[in-house]
Structure 1
Amino acid sequence: MSPKVSQRLDIESLRTLCAIEDHGGITRAADYLGLSQSAVSHKVKRLEISLDCALLCRRSNAPLFTDAGKDLLVYAKRILGIHDEALRSLSKSPLRGSINLGMTEDTTCSDLSQILTRFTRLYPGITVRAQVRQSLDLLQMFTAGAIEIAIVQVFQHDVRPTDIVLFEDRLHWVKSPDLDLDLSDKVPFLSFDENCFYRRWAMDIAQEQDSIFRTVLECASAAGIVAGVNAGLGVALLSGRHVSADMEVIDAAFIAPPSVASVIRVSRKSRDPATEALVSEIKNEISRRRKLRVI
Structure 2
Amino acid sequence: MQVNLPTNLLRSFVAIADTGSIVRATDKIFLTQSALSLQMKRLSEIVQVPLFRREQGTLVLTVSGERLLDLARRILELNDQAVESLDSVGLNGPVRIGIVQDFGDEILSGVLARFIQLNPGAELQIRVGHSREIRELFATHLIDIAVYHSVERDEFTVAPARMVWLGDPRLADRETLPLAFMTKPCLARDCAIAALEGAGRPYQLIVETSNISALRVAVEAGLALTCRSSAFTGHRLPAVELESLSLPTYFIAVMTLPSAHAAITGLAALITEAIENIVSPPFDLATDCPIKETEDA
| TM-score using structure 2 length | 0.52
2-structure distance, mates of 1:138, 1:147: 8
Give per-residue Cα distances to partners, 1:236-267, cap 9 Å, x unaligned.
1132242878767123241x112344331223
2-structure distance, mates of 1:91, 1:230: 45
Give per-residue Cα distances to partners, 1:33-65, cap 9 Å, x unaligned.
xxxxxxxxxxxxxxxxxxxxxxxxxxxxxxxxx
Which of 172, 176, 181 is residue 174 of structure 2 equivalent to? 181
Q: Are the equivalent residues in 2 in contact too, given 1:206–1:212 (CA < 8 A)?
A: yes
Q: Are the equivalent residues in 2 in contact too, given 1:106–1:294 (CA < 8 A)?
A: no
2-structure distance, mates of 1:283, 1:246: 28
Which of 106, 109, 114 is residue 105 of structure 2 equivalent to? 109
Which of 273, 277, 283 is residue 292 of structure 1 equivalent to? 277
Query: Do structure 1's residue 145 and structure 2's residue 137 form an aligned pair?
Result: no
Judged with a 3 Å threshold, the aligned counterparts in structure 2 of structure 1 residues 207 and 246 are, in CA distance, closer, same or farther, namely closer
1:231-270 correspondence to structure 2 within 5 Å: 231-241=221-231, 242=233, 249-254=240-245, 256-268=246-258
2-structure distance, mates of 1:168, 1:128: 27
2-structure distance, mates of 1:94, 1:140: 28
Judged with a 3 Å threshold, the aligned counterparts in structure 2 of structure 1 residues 251 and 267 are, in CA distance, closer, same or farther, namely farther
Q: Are the equivalent residues in 2 in contact too, given 1:97–1:127 (CA < 8 A)?
A: yes
2-structure distance, mates of 1:285, 1:140: 20
Q: State which drifts further: 117-126 or 238-247.
A: 238-247
1:38 corresponds to which residue? none
Give per-residue Cα distances to partners, 1:162-191, cap 9 Å, x unaligned.
34x2x5532222443443421xx5x43210
1:4-83 correspondence to structure 2 within 5 Å: none
- Cα displacement (A) at 1:150: 0.9
1-structure distance, mates of 2:235, 2:89: 49
Judged with a 3 Å threshold, the aligned counterparts in structure 2 of structure 1 residues 108 and 266 are, in CA distance, closer, same or farther, namely same
1:74 corresponds to which residue? none
2-structure distance, mates of 1:147, 1:285: 15
- Cα displacement (A) at 1:102: 0.9
* CA RMSD between the two structures: 3.7
2:161 corresponds to which residue? 169
Query: Do structure 1's residue 133 and structure 2's residue 123 form an aligned pair?
Result: no
Which of 196, 199, 213 is residue 189 of structure 2 equivalent to? 199
Judged with a 3 Å threshold, the aligned counterparts in structure 2 of structure 1 residues 113 and 230 are, in CA distance, closer, same or farther, namely closer
2-structure distance, mates of 1:197, 1:249: 19
Q: Are the equivalent residues in 1 in contact too, given 2:182–2:208 (CA < 8 A)?
A: yes
Q: Are the equivalent residues in 2 in contact too, given 1:134–1:196 (CA < 8 A)?
A: yes
Give the residue type in structure 2 aligned to 1:153.
Answer: H
* Unpaired segments ≥5 residues, structure 1: 1-89
Give the residue type in structure 2 aligned to 1:197.
Answer: L
Judged with a 3 Å threshold, the aligned counterparts in structure 2 of structure 1 residues 281 and 99 are, in CA distance, closer, same or farther, namely closer
1-structure distance, mates of 2:122, 2:205: 43
2-structure distance, mates of 1:290, 1:226: 19
Judged with a 3 Å threshold, the aligned counterparts in structure 2 of structure 1 residues 173 and 292 are, in CA distance, closer, same or farther, namely closer
1:99 corresponds to which residue? 95
Judged with a 3 Å threshold, the aligned counterparts in structure 2 of structure 1 residues 140 and 178 are, in CA distance, closer, same or farther, namely same
- Cα displacement (A) at 1:197: 1.1
Judged with a 3 Å threshold, the aligned counterparts in structure 2 of structure 1 residues 121 and 231 are, in CA distance, closer, same or farther, namely closer
Q: Are the equivalent residues in 2 in contact too, given 1:110–1:292 (CA < 8 A)?
A: no
- Cα displacement (A) at 1:153: 3.0
* Unpaired segments ≥5 residues, structure 2: 1-85, 281-297
2-structure distance, mates of 1:279, 1:203: 37
1:37 corresponds to which residue? none
2-structure distance, mates of 1:149, 1:285: 10
| TM-score using structure 1 length | 0.52
- Specify which structure has the higher proportion of strand: 2
Q: Are the equivalent residues in 2 in contact too, given 1:149–1:265 (CA < 8 A)?
A: yes
